[in-house]
Amino acid sequence: MPGCAHCGRPLDIIANQVGRRDACPHCGEDVRSCRNCRHFDPGVAKECKEPFAEVPKDKDGANFCELFQIGEGGLHVKESRDALMSAAEALFRKK
């Protein structure tokens, strides 16, 4: 069963039938967003494994991507921007 990428709780969604305005019943975040897509991967270019996708800048907001497929969600819980920036800065600190 797919889970919400924002809160990790299960979503009662049939197959890939997710409307653009569907929201998670637990946290209210958009379901049809990059972070809830099975192609979302923060470790690849544009954070999308689909090479022909027109990837939106906002990975959390609802979008019209025709390649959207609901993913496991809970696996993609977003990290805070501050935590990511701190980790990046730590790589370049002089000792």
Task: Give the pLDDT means over successive 10-residue stretches in the chain (95 positions).
Answer: 85 74 92 92 91 91 92 58 75 76
pTM over 0.85: no
Which SS3 state, helix, strand or coil, does residue 10 take? strand
The answer to whether 8 and 72 have CB atoms below 8 angstroms apart is: no
Measured in whole angstroms, the distance separating CA 60 from the mean position of its chain's CA atoms is 6
Cα 31 → chain centroid = 9
